[in-house]
Amino acid sequence: MTPSTGDREAVLGRIREALRVPAPLKHPAERSAGGEPTTAHFREWLPPVGPSLDERFALFSRLCETLKSELVVCADMDAAAAHLTTLATEGGWKTLGLHRGSLTSALESRLPAALTRLFVDEGYDKDALEASDAGLTECELLVAQTGSVCVTGPSSGGRVLSVLPPHHIVIARRSQILTDLTEAYATLAAKYRDDYPSMISFITGPSRTGDIERILVLGAHGPKRLTILLLP
């Protein structure tokens, strides 16, 4: 039986031997002096966003349309609850998977009593969650440049709630829209330091596939619909 780390020393040995001869850098980055991370300059090359929250919102909103995410701007929590109730009624929902949080709990308290709540915070039955009609989560942040919703275990009820039910509802605040992934990673790093959640996921639109004749179909495995309820 091999040691638990396998052929560690052999692999590392071959790597070190191979790297004794340096390889030329054929396409040097335009700004990266002496091993300084290039990260700081990504923004200069990627698609532009604009500095103000209004510009971030405008781009995020435009991308949601392209991505077929449903962005619903809500005046307040009551309006969000009303929209969600409509979705539940139209979809004939019986069970809503959700987690506890300041936004989700406030929203949940305004939903019809007839809708069964499946809270995942203390663990959950996989079959029951699989059978639920929608998953309601908060998020860490939203990314304007890519139209993404960033979820993590702590922010969004774990790994599965945001991807297993066929309809994912995100409740978020407008101020959570950040510029780009660079800002998103910096925000996560500041918040979690070295103690990251075991999962960080950037969700960009509902689940999709183009595997059959490169034709876009939504809802391959994950949610067929992604609704973002955006509070002021």
Partner 1 sequence: MSSFTSPARNQFQEDADRTTSDAPRRTAVRNALQNYQSARDRTGATFTDWKAARSAASTIKHEAVNHLDQYLEEFERKFTARGGKVFWASNSQQARDYIIQLAKAKNVRAIVKSKAMTGEEIHLNDALVAEGFGVVESDLGEFIQQLKGEAPYHFVFPCMHLRRDEISDLFHKELGTAKTNSPEELTMIARRVLRRTYVEADMGISGANFIVADTGMISITENEGNARLTVGVPKIHVALVGIEKVVPRLGDLALLLPMLATAGTGQHLTGYNSMYGGPRQPGENDGPDEFHVVLLDNHRTRLLADPEQRDALHCIRCGACLNVCPIFKNIGGHTYGTTYQGPIGSVITPHFRGLQDWKHLSGASSLCGACTETCPVGIDIHHHLLHNRRNAAAEKPAPGESLLWKAFTFLMRRPALYRLATRFAPLGSLLHPLVEGTALDPMIAWTSTRDFPAAAPSSFRSQFQKHQAQKSGGSK
User: Which DSSP letter does residue 166 get?
Assistant: S
- We find the least distance from the C-beta atom of residue 96 to partner 1, in angstroms, to be 17
Q: Select from 108, 87, 54 the least CA-distant residue to 232.
A: 54
Three-class SS string for 102-165?
HHHHHHHCCCCCCCEEEECCCCCCHHHHHHCCEEEECCCEEECCCCEEEEEHHHHCCCCCCCCC
Q: Which pair of tokens denotes residue 210?
A: 């183009």
CB-wise, 77 or 196, nearer to partner 1? 196
Q: Any contact of residue 105 with partner 1 (CB under 8 A)?
A: no
214 belongs to the binding site for partner 1 (CB under 8 A): yes
Distance CA 87, CA 184 (A): 30
Residue 34 buriedness (CB in 10 A; 0-12 / 13-18 / 19+): exposed
Nearer to partner 1, 83 or 137 (CB): 137
Structure token pair of residue 212: 């059959």
93 and 166 Cβ atoms separated by less than 8 Å: no
Shorter beta-carbon distance to partner 1: residue 104 or 146: 146
Binding residue for partner 1, selected from 70, 110, 173, 219, defined by CB under 8 A: 219
Site for partner 1 in 60-89 (CB under 8 A): 63
Question: Among residues 94 and 221, whose Cβ is nearest to partner 1?
Answer: 221
57 near partner 1, judged by CB under 8 A? no
193 binds partner 1 (CB under 8 A): no
Should residue 187 be labelled a site residue for partner 1 when binding is judged by CB under 8 A?
Answer: no
Tell me if 156 contacts partner 1 by CB under 8 A.
Answer: no
Stretch of residues binding partner 1 (CB under 8 A), selected from 50-58, 76-84, 89-97, 189-197: 189-197
Q: Residue 134's Cα: distance from chain center in Å?
A: 16
Q: Is 132 in the site for partner 1 (CB under 8 A)?
A: no
Binding flag, residue 177, partner 1 (CB under 8 A): no
Q: How far is the CB of 232 from partner 1 (least distance, A)?
A: 26
Query: Is 190 near partner 1 (CB under 8 A)?
Result: no
